[in-house]
């Protein structure tokens, strides 16, 4: 039995959730997100709560029960509050800047890296060594953060590279004489 799926998703004021044609749509102040529903689960709206129930007792139905409930919860939270990930850049000469619709990264390579900012995500650089990624979709915000971090991940000897602000890098000792 799913421990996540058995709880309802409460819809806050300012967010409208509609279920039609095997699609769930959440619309709020930060945008609109559409989730295609599977045949394994029933999704129903009762008042200000969204309930997800499995249609059968198969393993696939029970897996999709908790997964669908988590997706619905992330959609509702995303269109009402949004999601935010902070990245830190460490290293001499490493910096980032937003120029128009691109993120310009200088990460110690012989060339600058130009990352085009997707339309559904906002990127801001308060300092040259801090990047803030915000958006309504948790998946898109996490994917963009992972792609930017992938250009120069943190290394364990000097700690240089791009890391999440909540991440701790286990440092290694260098070689001895």
Tens of pLDDT, residue by residue, the chain (177 residues):
678 888 999 999 999 999 998 999 999 999 999 999 999 999 999 989 999 999 999 999 999 999 999 999 999 999 999 999 999 999 999 999 999 999 999 999 999 999 999 999 999 999 999 999 999 999 999 999 999 999 999 999 998 999 999 999 999 998 887
Q: Is residue 104 located within the same domain as residue 48?
A: no
How many distinct structural domains can be found in the chain? 2
Separation between Cα atoms, residue 144 and residue 135, nearest integer Å = 10
Structural Rg of the chain based on CA atoms: 21
Strand segments (E) across the chain:
9-10, 16-20, 23-28, 31-36, 41-46, 49-54, 83-90, 95-99, 102-106, 113-116, 121-124, 130-135, 161-164
Tell me the residue range of the domain where 48 lies. 9-80
Give the residue from 80, 115, 140 where a domain finishes. Answer: 80
Q: What's the pTM value of the predicted model, to 2 decimals?
A: 0.88
Give the residue from 59, 80, 101 where a domain finishes. Answer: 80
């Amino acid at each position: 039995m799913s421990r996540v799926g058995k709880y309802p998703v409460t819809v806050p004021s300012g967010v409208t959730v509609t279920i039609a044609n095997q699609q769930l749509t959440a619309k709020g102040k930060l945008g609109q997100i559409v989730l295609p529903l599977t045949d394994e689960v029933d999704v129903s709206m009762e008042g200000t709560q969204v309930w997800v129930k499995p249609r059968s007792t198969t393993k696939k139905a029970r897996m999709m029960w908790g997964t669908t409930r988590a997706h619905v919860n992330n959609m509702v939270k995303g269109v009402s509050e949004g999601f935010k990930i902070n990245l830190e850049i460490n290293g001499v000469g490493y910096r980032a800047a937003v120029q128009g619709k691109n993120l310009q990264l200088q990460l110690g390579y012989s060339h600058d890296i130009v990352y085009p900012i997707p339309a559904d995500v906002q990127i801001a650089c308060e300092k040259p060594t801090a990047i803030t990624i915000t958006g309504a979709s948790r998946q898109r915000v996490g994917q963009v953060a992972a792609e930017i971090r992938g250009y120069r991940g943190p290394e364990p000897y000097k700690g240089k590279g791009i890391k999440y602000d909540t991440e701790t890098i286990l440092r290694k000792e260098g070689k001895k004489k």
